[in-house]
DNA sequence: AATGAATGAGGGTTCATTCAT
DNA sequence: TATGAATGAACCCTCATTCAT
């Protein structure tokens, strides 16, 4: 309907402010985390970003497009480097998972579930940007262990990964605290689920 | 601020219609599942229940109180009877978990996450009514297995339960289908995580 | 979408204010005359009627429905009683025509032309309520004259009527004043067009 | 307030593109016909003309000035050449009238009526460019007939013209089709109104 | 001269809630 | 008790216009 997302722009005219670009996306992510999609108003995003509302609509066709774009920019952040030791890697990755959701906010996961039908692109973006990369890291770590002979082949890695990551959601939903030893406990249980020999 | 909930009403005046009571709560749960909290309008609840809006406010102080009350009534449904075999129980319980969320709708979980701060009573109700009973069933099954000697004591049951249940959330979020063998795969992995001897 | 136009209402609940009903329709007609459809805001109608905006939407599904309903209520007003003399009747009807448009405002005709495609119900309402009744009065007067023998049958009455009424539009558009003798001049020319014998 | 219209520009600097000039005015007339004044956006005019919005404001002080300028350029088009026979001339002119409005669009007439107070220059332009020339053609044809002796002097030519032209507006507003014989019927009635002897 | 970006000011519509019957 | 009417407050989005390149 309206011009969107940097059309052509052969250097003519006033350049689009990249500061505004960033401020808008940051504001959108922040507000989503704080109040969710439905209660996030374009007015509030504009105000938080320090721009006017039409500046939002110059960039995104509507609220839905804005929040999807905002979350496409969300990054998992510095993933922990693999150490070669599966248990250590799992612990690091579970700690990292905790950090990611602490920054992103579990409320965004909530929005994905609530708006699954009205906003399918949002959960798609989250899967591609955050969820799947996290799983892949675990997959890689397990593959390395198998390659090292530390783990017998044929283990049900996908299920183990689902359980390890899911433990986070389940604990969060149950309202239990993520105490110091949580990553270790889950890592150990995951190793057992993978059929790793006792340490 | 607090729910109105049948104040006094010592037999005087016309008694409230219990048909309306049920219709209202059913409508609220249905609409929450379908459109989420924010897009659920009191108008729509009233219409679906076949009553007028003030009839809602006569019973509940506001939208928040209504949805909390509605979800306090939600029941896990007929839990699977324990069989005495841990694996069979776990499979049955995971299947039941799937049924529960298929009926309740994962969007309600989404609302809990999104409205965690604005509507803390909702997640509390869900925990008490659905989440915790499900965990307790698993705890009981595991305790029975320990008592039978099928499982060594000292296993990290809580973590295993968290992982087994969490696997559901993780798979759902990843958008993967719940195929026929999923409960068995998770049950087996859970048994391994619990340190059960190979079958 | 929303309840509209007095549904059922078996005497229950608070009765809809008929004062508001009238005030709203009056305000809508007034504003249409003053600023046209596009610049007429629901806000302004509500303010002029002394009600809130939702009170408008309780009665009409939207702006389009409101203005159509408002103009369906517009009445030609007290039509001049036939005298039996064709010339006198034509003069009276042309004077009446002038009165009608002075009250209704030619701008409403303008809106009909401008919004012909977007708001077809409006011109339909105007035709049924104002335009066609005016033509019919002329038709009747001419038929009476034919019946009296004052006019030969076979005259092209429809074209003469079209021209008599059209003279108003043409003069208005040309920006010429409607001086004292205008109705008589048009009536005389119409009689000649009808083939009436010179007085 | 007044049109900007090539201020000074004594050969210095880059000259304004005359291609743009035409494209802009054409786009404005087109859009006015299609959607009316209020719904015609400067954005749409710019897009249809293939220029940017400031290019519009460089030439015209605002939307009002643009549409007035655009309609000052509208031409009646090739008027039918007089034949010397009044009836034939009237028929030709009525047919031409139909063509003009078919091209210009009656919606522009509507805008003139609606925006009479806010945009007085628009109706003035239309009068000078289209309405008055049409009347003058009829006036000339009638004067020629008088001069030829085909019509007695002293006929109320102005009223007859008003009626002949007005018949178009009245028929259009009534929603009746302009069938094949319409110009002839009106021409004949007009001749009678002018007191021409029966053919 | 021309462009794309930015804005202040609404516009139509909906909602949770309260009022009057 | 229950109803339909009424409201204040937002919300999403668009427009005429101006700015910076």
- Which tens digit of pLDDT belongs to each residue from A7-20? 556 678 899 999 99
Count of other CB atoms within 10 angstroms of residue C164 = 29
**pLDDT band of C76, cuts 50, 70, 90:** low
DSSP for residue A67: H
Residues A175-193: what's their mean pLDDT? 97
pLDDT, tens digit, 9 for 90 and up, residues A104-127:
889 999 999 999 999 999 999 999
Residues of C in contact with D195 (CB under 8 A): 192
**Contact assignment for C131 to D167 by CB distance below 8 Å:** no
Ranges in chain B, pLDDT < 70: 1-16, 76, 199
Interface test with D, best of C35, C136, C170, C190 (most D CBs within 10 A): C170
A147 has a pLDDT exceeding 60: yes
Q: Mean pLDDT for chain A?
A: 92
Instruction: Give me the residue from A39, A107, A194 closest to B116, CB to CB.
Output: A107
Question: Which of these, B114, B124, B42, B69, lies nearest to A114 by C-alpha position?
Answer: B114
Q: What is the pLDDT of residue B7?
A: 43
Asked if the C-beta of C107 comes within 8 angstroms of chain D's C-beta atoms, the answer is: yes
pLDDT at C6: 57
Residues A185 and B159: their CA atoms lie apart, in Å, by 7
Please say if the pLDDT value at position C158 is more than 70: yes
Query: Is B157 part of the contact surface with chain A (CB cutoff 8 Å)?
Result: no
May I ask the CATH architecture of the domain D18-69?
Answer: Orthogonal Bundle (1.10)
Q: Which residues of chain C have a CB within 8 Å of the CB of D109?
A: 110, 113, 173
Q: Do chains B and D touch (3 or more CB pairs under 8 A)?
A: no
Query: Do residues D72 and D129 touch, judged by C-beta distance below 8 A?
Result: yes
Task: In whole angstroms, give the CA distance from residue A122 to residue A113.
Answer: 10
Distance from CA of D46 to the nearest CA of C (A): 21
Cβ contact, residue pair C170, D162, below 8 Å: yes
Establish if B174 touches chain A: CB-CB under 8 angstroms.
yes
How many CB pairs lie under 8 A apart between chains A and B? 149
Strand nucleotide closest to residue D66 (CA to C1'): F16
Percent of chain C with pLDDT over 70: 94
Over residues C6-65, the pLDDT tens digits come to 555 667 889 999 999 999 999 999 999 999 999 999 999 999 999 999 999 999 999 999
The pLDDT score that the predictor gives to residue C164 is 98
pLDDT, average across residues C99-126: 92
Note the strand E nucleotides within 7 A of protein beta carbons. 1-21
| Mean pLDDT score, C84-96 | 96
Tell me: the pLDDT tens digits for D128-160?
A: 998 999 999 999 999 999 999 999 988 899 999
Q: Which nucleotides of F are covered by protein (CB under 7 A)?
A: 1-21
* Chain mean position to CA D105: 9
Statement: residue C161 has pLDDT above 50 = yes
Residues of B in contact with A156 (CB under 8 A): 185, 188-189
Nearest chain B alpha carbon to A192: B193
Higher pLDDT, A42 or B76: A42
pLDDT tier at D62 (50, 70, 90 boundaries)? very high
Residue D184 token pair: 């002839």
**Residues of chain D above pLDDT 90, percent:** 76
> What tokens appear for D140 in the block?
């000339």
Whether D48 has its CB under 8 Å from any CB of chain C: the answer is no
pLDDT score at A47: 96
> Which residues of chain A does CATH 1.10.10.60 include?
18-69
Q: Determine whether the distance from the CB of D58 to the nearest atom of strand E is below 7 Å.
A: yes
Q: Work out the minimum CA distance from B185 to partner chain A, whole angstroms.
A: 7
- Which nucleotide lies at the shortest CA–C1' distance from D57? F17
Contact A169 B171 (CB under 8 A): no
Q: What is the DSSP letter of C150?
A: S
According to the model, what pLDDT value does residue C4 have?
A: 62
C72-193: CATH, from 1.10.3720.10, 1.10.357.10, 3.40.190.80, 3.30.365.10: 1.10.357.10
For residues A189 and B159, is the Cβ–Cβ distance under 8 A? yes
Stretch C152-166: mean pLDDT, rounded? 95
CA–C1' B60–F1 (A): 15
Touching chains, D (3+ CB pairs < 8 A) = C
CA A185 to CA B194: how far, in whole Å?
12
Answer whether B170 sits within 8 Å of A162, measured CB to CB: yes
| Closest residue on chain A to B34 (Cα) | A114
Give ∠ CA B102-B105-B109 in degrees, rounded to 5. Answer: 130
Rounded CA-CA distance D108/A85 in Å is 79
Interchain proximity D164–C160, CB inside 8 Å: no
Per-residue pLDDT, B13: 54
Q: Which of A197, A135, A189 is nearest to A161 (CA)?
A: A135
CATH 1.10.357.10 domain locations along chain B: 72-193
Q: Tell me the pTM.
A: 0.89
Of A114, A123, A165, the CB nearest to B36: A114
Residue A101 has pLDDT above 60, yes or no: yes
Name the residue closest to F11, CA to C1': A41
3-state secondary structure D96-153: HHHHHHHHHCHHHHHHHHHCCCCCHHHHHHHHHHHHHHHHHHHHHHHHHHHHHCCCCC
Using the predicted structure, report yes or no on whether residue C78 has a pLDDT greater than 90. Answer: no
Across the interface, do D114 and C112 touch by the CB < 8 Å criterion?
no
Q: How confident is the model at residue A79 (pLDDT cuts 50, 70, 90)?
A: confident
| C62 Cβ within 7 A of any nucleic strand E atom | yes
Share of chain A above pLDDT 90, in %: 80
Confidence at residue C3, expressed as pLDDT on a 0 to 100 scale = 45
Most confident of A97-101, B41-45, D79-83: B41-45
Amino acid B195 CA to nucleotide F1 C1' distance, rounded Å: 61
Question: What average pLDDT does this structure show over A181-194?
Answer: 97
């Amino acid at each position: 309907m309206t011009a969107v997302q940097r059309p052509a722009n052969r250097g003519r005219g006033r350049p689009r402010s990249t500061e505004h670009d960033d401020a808008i996306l940051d504001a959108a992510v922040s507000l989503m985390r704080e109040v969710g999609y439905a209660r996030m108003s374009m007015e509030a995003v504009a105000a938080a970003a320090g721009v006017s509302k039409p500046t939002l609509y110059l960039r995104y066709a509507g609220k839905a497009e804005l929040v999807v774009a905002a979350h496409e920019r969300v990054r998992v952040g510095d993933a922990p480097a693999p150490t070669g030791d599966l248990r250590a890697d799992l612990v690091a990755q579970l700690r990292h998972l905790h950090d990611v959701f602490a920054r992103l906010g579990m409320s965004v996961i909530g929005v994905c579930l609530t708006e699954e039908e009205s906003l399918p692109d949002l959960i798609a973006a989250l899967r591609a940007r955050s969820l799947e990369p996290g799983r892949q890291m675990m997959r890689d770590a397990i593959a390395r262990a198998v390659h090292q002979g530390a783990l017998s082949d044929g283990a049900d890695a996908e299920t183990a990964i689902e359980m390890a990551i899911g433990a986070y959601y389940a604990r969060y939903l149950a309202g239990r605290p993520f105490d110091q030893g949580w990553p270790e406990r889950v890592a150990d249980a995951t190793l057992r689920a993978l059929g790793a020999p006792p340490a």
